[in-house]
Structure 1
Amino acid sequence: MTVTTEFLISSPSLPLVRLAESLPSNQVESVHGLCLERDSRVFVIYVDPSDDLTEAELSAFDEVVDVTPLGRASGREVYQLTVELEDVVSEAFAPERFTAAQMEPTVVTPEGWYEKKLFESFDAFRGLTDRCAQYDISVELISIAQSGPSSDDSARFGLTDRQHEALTLALSRGYFESPRQVTTEELAQEMDISQPSMSNLIRRAERQLLTSALDSQAHLNTLSG
């Protein structure tokens, strides 16, 4: 199972944010985001020509160590930047801690980094958010979607695909946290169903999981006896 996530990372320590603030368009795209290499400091950025950004202006930013113009692509100016990352960013996004693939160019804005990444599991994404929290880096989840419930997982616990989807979404959005971080109504909107239907899906799925777990334990007790 894999999950596709879209989220906003916010921190004063993030590179290129001040650059985005200085541009009329208030944004710049980067094809090399964070979580790539532990010492990755090279970013390839795309800048709208209307922003009228010069090589000298790029070099003037304290975090930019080197600038290499790469010409134009897709009607935009392309630069390769060597950037000095703050320690908090290097540590928080150490790539060996996460399994994630970049799906679209990162969009850097004054609010932070908009990322779209593919993770191997919900736990892998949760690992990223927990790690960022340790460094006071905010991660705002915009959307999260499962690539498709695993039929093996569903069959193993006796869940229908729809029940599996509902439980997976609820878990990822913090429904089972204390206090709850999302309501069944909000979950229902994401699944495009009614709130009663969502509640029913979760309730039936929970009952099925408990039944499966208790039956398995009873079977093990029988074998051990």
Structure 2
Amino acid sequence: MTVTTEFRLRSSALPLVSIPASLPPDEIECSHALCLEPDARVFHVEIDAEYDVSEAQLAALDEVVTVTPLGERADTTIFKLTVELDDSIAPAFDPERFDGAKMKSTTITSDGWYETKEFKDYETFHDFHTTFEDHSISLELISITSNQSSFNDSTGDGLTDRQREALELAVSRGYYESPRKVTAAELAEELGISQPSLSSLLRRGERQILTSSLDVQGYLNTASK
């Protein structure tokens, strides 16, 4: 099983948030190997060519060590930047903490980073989340999905992705066993949501599964009015 997450990291100390904060583009796209390779501080940054951001402007940023223009592609200008991480957040990007994580490109705004990252399991994502929070980097979870076949879209159960993931995690952690092996608060923490939100997801998911399994939608609709 792998887990794919979409999330936003928020901290003024994150690398390269200074570009949209001080230069014309509202956001930039980049690829990098932080969390994946030791001492990796190299970013390949794509900036919309219409903003005409120069090598000198990027080199003037305090965190940027070197700048190498790589040319243009699809109306974007590409630069290779070597950056120096802020000491306050550098330990959060230790690659030894995140074995098995894979990452797509990152969208950087002045407010933080938006990323889609694949983890080998929920535990790895939970460790990732906890590590960043411990270093004052807020992680806002947008979505989380897994490839476990028992909960794929072909089941026709009518669950939303969020309901499915909450139920899947609850089952795998022993929430429905007697006695319970995990609390709702612990499940909510793993998903990066509040306990009331977790309880609502489980309740609506359970209702949807019962509805689809027992074919009692008409009765439930009438009873809920």
Alpha carbons of structure 1 residues 75 and 129: separation in structure 2 relative to 1, 3 Å: same
1:139 and 1:181 map into 2 onto residues whose CA distance is 19
In structure 1, stretches of 5+ residues that fail to align are 152-161, 189-193, 202-225
TM superposition outliers: structure 1 runs of 4+ over 6 Å:
none
8 Å CA contact 2:20–2:110 kept in 1: the answer is yes
In the alignment, which of 182, 207, 213 is matched to residue 197 of structure 1? 207
Alpha carbons of structure 1 residues 199 and 31: separation in structure 2 relative to 1, 3 Å: same
- Name the counterpart of 2:197: 182
1:29 and 1:36 map into 2 onto residues whose CA distance is 18
8 Å CA contact 1:166–1:198 kept in 2: the answer is no
1:175 and 1:24 map into 2 onto residues whose CA distance is 47
- Name the counterpart of 1:26: 26
- Name the counterpart of 1:136: 136
Query: Secondary structure at the residue paired with 1:36?
Result: coil
- Name the counterpart of 1:7: 7
Post-superposition CA distance 1:71-129 (Å, at most 9, x none): 01222100000101112332101111112101x31000111010101000111100001
Do structure 1's residue 77 and structure 2's residue 85 form an aligned pair?
no
% identity of equivalent residues: 42
- Name the counterpart of 2:108: 108
8 Å CA contact 1:175–1:181 kept in 2: the answer is no
Deviation at 1:199, TM superposition (A): 8.5
In structure 2, stretches of 5+ residues that fail to align are 152-158, 174-181, 187-193, 212-225
- Name the counterpart of 2:178: none
Post-superposition CA distance 1:45-87 (Å, at most 9, x none): 0000112200110010000010000001222100000101112
Deviation at 1:33, TM superposition (A): 4.9
- Name the counterpart of 2:220: none
Post-superposition CA distance 1:156-185 (Å, at most 9, x none): xxxxxx89855335589x982167252443
- Name the counterpart of 1:223: none
1:164 and 1:56 map into 2 onto residues whose CA distance is 49
Name the aligned partner's letter for residue 40 of structure 1.
Answer: A
RMSD of aligned alpha carbons: 3.0
